[in-house]
Amino acid sequence: MTPSLGHSAARGAMMTLGAQAAKMVLQLLSVVILSRLLTPHDYGLIAIVLVIIGIGEIFRDFGLTSASVQAPELSDGQRDNLFWINVAIGVILAVLMFCSAWPVHLLMHEPDLIGIVQVLSVVLLINGVTTQYRAQLMRALRFHAMAVIDIVAAVLALGSAIVSALAGAGYWALVIQQIVNSLTLLVGAALAGRWLPRWYSRRHPVGHFMRFGWNMVASSLASYAGNQVDTVLVGARFGTTALGLYNRAYQLISSSFNQIRSPLSSVAIPVMSRVQADLRRFDSFVISGQLALGFGLGIPLALVAGLADPVVRIALGDQWLAATPLLRFFCGSSMMTSLAFVGYWVYVSRGLAHQLFRYSMVALVIRVACVVAGSFLGMTGVAAGVLAGPLLTWTLSWIWLSRITPIPVRALWLGGARVLILTCTITAVSWATSHRLDANPWLLLLAGSATGLVAGCLFLVLPVYRRDARSLVGFLRLMVTRQKAGPGPTEPRPTATSGAEDHDRR
């Protein structure tokens, strides 16, 4: 008897979340330790180079990971051809990035950037070789293997960076961290994949994969440009030291929580692709996904927003206190992004890459306008613009998507509203607690967290929140229990208030 797809999704989510929880701990250790060994200038230099790598990563993948995972059928020959295409793209991009070192130096007036850009260009080549190995692990739902690989890579990368920083390597410690991480991911994926690609053959056409991938590239570029406009703006207007401060706050929140949202796509997209023809089952995954992201990420984000001052003191040190207001804005931005992230899964799982690109361009214009307008108020204004963007586009995203494909619009709006009401309450209560007490940062963190969580638990007196809680608990049980043979597959069911069974489709 085939195992339940819902159980596979839940177990996969558990593996992925477990790995990402470990990576978030490592990320926090990286921030806490390396921020005390390196300077804001060091982080500012790496932040500039990572923008370049990020652009290269979009082209390096070329949307072929999503294309191969989403495809109903994929032959061995097509898989091999996609491997060589990703490798070729990685080689070209590595050369282009190496040559871009001098223009980047002239633009930013930082001679150290030349060596950093040239050395880190090898990351694009390494990741090009890794692409299809990772894609095939995702397609096979081998989430446990991917989780182990990710944790090992993060541990080795952080360890190498700490050792290098202690040895006085300065910003080169961050360069080494990036390279070790990419190499470990490649070795781990290749060993887990257990396949050697054959030579490229025209007998196995991949044109439709390339067309799908191109639309994904265009959408990703629009999204990435919107996500990086603040980094470029801060670096250009306020310098690398200010950028290092901004980047540390961003890494502490947005980057950390992105490490949960993005890898969860490796679970959600292949599962949703398999059930896309069954609207009832598909709706249940969409609704459960938003609730899981909203409550699962929203509650810790709400606590960090309310307790930003003690969090910065503990994680970064008193010399980074200027990052406190930035941290609060990034928490809000990450919250709104989490609520809308399920829409991305819908686009990809249903093969709506072209429509995703069109929406991404609209969202890009809104975000850039918000960030540029905020930049006239300094770095804090930029961070406020980062929050304003997803606040404006959250409602737009569901309206846009509902005109293209059937989705449970009413249920998603109501579910998101419930998440926002609860998380805003937690933020207000934890903030009020920390500002009424005069204690060391650790006591403020504990007291604020306790009162904030108690305030959140009080919402359980409302039936609608109890139903949400039961839905999430049921999903958690699927994660931690082994699948038993039965008469047929079962999926996570929407709550009575989710409206999945009787919602009005647009």
pLDDT tens for 340-377 read 888 888 887 887 877 887 888 888 888 889 988 988 88
Separation between Cα atoms, residue 41 and residue 3, nearest integer Å: 52
Query: Which residue shows structure tokens 């871009």?
Result: 100
Give the chain's mean pLDDT. 79
Residues 6+ positions from 141 with CB-CB distance below 8 Å: 8, 12, 270, 271
- Residue 486 located in a structural domain: no
Question: How far are the Cα atoms of 5, 73, 268, 359, 398 from residue 401, in angstroms, in the given order?
Answer: 25, 26, 18, 9, 5
Q: Are 267 and 6 in contact (CB under 8 A)?
A: no
Q: Per the structure, how many domains does the chain have?
A: 1
pLDDT at 451 (0 to 100): 95
- Residue 499 located in a structural domain: no
pLDDT of 151 strictly over 70: yes
pLDDT at 331 (0 to 100): 92
Give the global pTM. Answer: 0.63
**Runs of H (alpha helix) within 403-503:** 409-436, 441-457, 463-480
- Residue 412 located in a structural domain: yes
- % of the chain at pLDDT higher than 90: 20
The amino acid that residue 467 corresponds to is R
**What pLDDT band is residue 489 in, cutting at 50, 70 and 90?**
very low
Q: What is the tens place of the pLDDT at every residue in 80-128? A: 888 888 888 889 989 999 998 888 877 777 788 898 999 999 999 998 8
Domain extent at residue 414: 5-480
- Residue 338 located in a structural domain: yes
Q: What is the mean pLDDT of residues 283-302?
A: 86
pLDDT at 496 (0 to 100): 35
Q: What is the tens place of the pLDDT at every residue in 206-220? A: 766 766 666 667 666
Q: What is the tens place of the pLDDT at every residue in 35-76? A: 778 877 787 888 888 888 887 877 777 776 666 766 667 777
pLDDT of 379 strictly over 70: yes
**What pLDDT band is residue 457 in, cutting at 50, 70 and 90?**
very high
- Residue 489 located in a structural domain: no
Separation between Cα atoms, residue 309 and residue 323, nearest integer Å: 9
**Runs of H (alpha helix) within 318-378:** 324-349, 353-375
- Residue 485 located in a structural domain: no
**What pLDDT band is residue 18 in, cutting at 50, 70 and 90?**
low
Q: What is the tens place of the pLDDT at every residue in 415-445? A: 889 999 999 999 999 999 988 887 788 999 9
186-195, 231-240, 340-349: least confidently modelled range: 231-240
- Residue 410 located in a structural domain: yes
48-52, 150-154, 241-245: least confidently modelled range: 241-245
pLDDT at 427 (0 to 100): 95
pLDDT at 493 (0 to 100): 38
- Residue 498 located in a structural domain: no
